[in-house]
Amino acid sequence: MAMIQFTERGPARHAHPTTRALAKAAVAASRAPSIFNSQPWRWRIADVAELRADWQRQLATVDPDGRLLTISCGAALHYARTALAGTGVLADVTRLPDATDPDLIARIRVVGDAAPAPAAVRLQLAMALRHTDRRPFADVDVPTGVLERLRDAAEAQGAHLHLLRPDEVITLAVAAARASETEFADPRYLAELSAWTGRPVHAPDGVPASTAPQYATRPVPLRDLDPGAPLDMTTPELVDRHACYAVLFTDSDTPADWLAAGEALSAVLLTASAERLAASPISDVVEVPATRLLLRDMLSRIGYPMVALRVGVPEGGAAAAAGRRAAADIIDVNAVPPA
């Protein structure tokens, strides 16, 4: 785990063990996935930890309602919970605790300690392995038993994971193509895409060019993160032939559901990494109202799609990692007001 650096070094150095445990969990949560790697959260930590939305980092065009921002915060919350559980720290979480303070996503309070369960340790270790992998997957089937464990991971967080049948993959592909066409026709989207992508390797946020998808023909097209780049036609054949696709959905479409979806997304991705699988979220299909409705129709309107997922067996070494903001930029220690 990276060394914790804080602006108020005195309080951090002499912090209570509970405060230090929460601060370390907040640092670990910086690895969580987020829309365009925007990392739209902040932490205030004393004897409790407060996770707060950072609306200055909202993608106004892609995510005008803040759904994906809240999902991103939910992923960070699950990462923090996972870090605590993996070290044997027992915690109580209150989600959206104050209706008068919409920026407050959750409060985490340490309530004890115990020997960590092996499953918790396994997920904690997976946090260091997980990266969004947009590269073509290997021509190897994903074991059915693993897919069931991914579904169970989503259910445990209050959401659902629908594994797509071959005919439904076609629907997802249509949704992805329509979303791309709609978004690329919007100059505001192009400006937002340019602002958050093509970052240098050392950038603390955004999507670096090293993680952009390679050009290839796929069953479901991925978002074009570098539309001005020349096409590399050296891989014209179909890739991702053995990829599995899924839609993460919730029973309702409220901020509480968005938060649960973020926690479920994190749980699914970490479970996949623990199983040595690669994955990448597909969010453009839910960014456009028409394609989000198309996916809801595919679900027979029994739920609300939050994000799609592509899962497969990785080929080659570890995927390139995107940068993360410094702890001092997102964590304030001893900054939680008395309850």
CATH number, domain containing residue 279: 3.40.109.10
Global pTM reads: 0.93
Structural domain count of the chain: 2
Residues 78 and 271: their CA atoms lie apart, in Å, by 12
> Is the same domain home to 165 and 308?
yes
Domain that holds residue 44: 9-128+325-333
- Report whether pLDDT(1) > 70: no
Paired with 246 in beta bridges are 163, 309
Per residue in 11-70, pLDDT (tens digit) is 444 568 999 999 999 999 999 999 999 999 999 999 999 999 999 999 999 999 999 999
Paired with 161 in beta bridges are 248
In this structure, is residue 139 part of a structural domain?
A: no
In this structure, is residue 218 part of a structural domain?
A: yes
User: What confidence score (pLDDT) does residue 4 get?
Assistant: 46
Residues 193 and 195: their CA atoms lie apart, in Å, by 5
> Is the same domain home to 329 and 307?
no
> Is the same domain home to 161 and 277?
yes
If we measure between CA atoms, which residue out of 39, 75, 79, 121 comes closest to residue 325? Answer: 39
Q: Coil, strand, or helix at residue 297?
A: helix
Residues 84 and 74: their CA atoms lie apart, in Å, by 15
Residues 138 and 123: their CA atoms lie apart, in Å, by 24
> Is the same domain home to 116 and 260?
no
- Report whether pLDDT(214) > 60: yes
